[in-house]
Each structure stands twice: as C-alpha cells, then as structure tokens.
Amino acid sequence: MDDDLPRPKGDAASALAKESLDPYSQDELGERIAQLEAEIARITAHRDKVAAHRSAADALFKPRTS
C-alpha cells in the first residue's frame, strides 16, 4: 500500500468526525480534546521521524553529479 495516498474515508478520523458530541459533558469534551491533542502530537512526531528517515535515504541514494 502506498503511504502517500489518502486513506479511505472509512478511517478512524472520519468516524470520529461523524460522531455526535451531544451526549458528552463539558468535562468529557475537555478530556477528549486532551486525548486528541496528544494523538496529534504523536502523529506529528511520527511524521517528522518518517520525513527525516526519507531525507536521509534520499541523500544516501541520490545520484552524484560531477
């Protein structure tokens, strides 16, 4: 599977976006926001790690110009 392609619309983020927030209290919404912010930080760190790995691989295998 090509990691650069968008995920199908049935992924977890799409399911979260469709969920009704009406049943949640203010405290529960605050907790949910904190969890989502932590997940965003985790994904951002992983994206940065993958980008650094890709850059290193590109630099290693880049054709040399004379």
Residue 18 domain-assigned (yes or no): no
pLDDT value of position 63: 77
Say whether 2 sits in a helix, a strand or coil: coil
Which residue type, as a one-letter code, is found at position 50? V
Count CB neighbours of 32 within 10 A: 14
pLDDT value of position 40: 95
pLDDT value of position 7: 67
Residue 1 domain-assigned (yes or no): no
Residue 60 domain-assigned (yes or no): yes
Residue 44 domain-assigned (yes or no): yes
Residue 10 domain-assigned (yes or no): no
The pLDDT profile of the chain, 66 residues, written as one tens digit per residue, is 556 677 666 788 888 899 999 999 999 999 999 999 999 999 999 999 999 999 888 888 887 776
Say whether 18 sits in a helix, a strand or coil: helix
Overall pTM surpassing 0.75 (yes/no): no
Residue 57 domain-assigned (yes or no): yes
Residue 12 domain-assigned (yes or no): no
Residue 65 domain-assigned (yes or no): yes
**Total of domains in the chain:** 1
pLDDT value of position 26: 98
- Domain extent, residue 35, equals 25-66
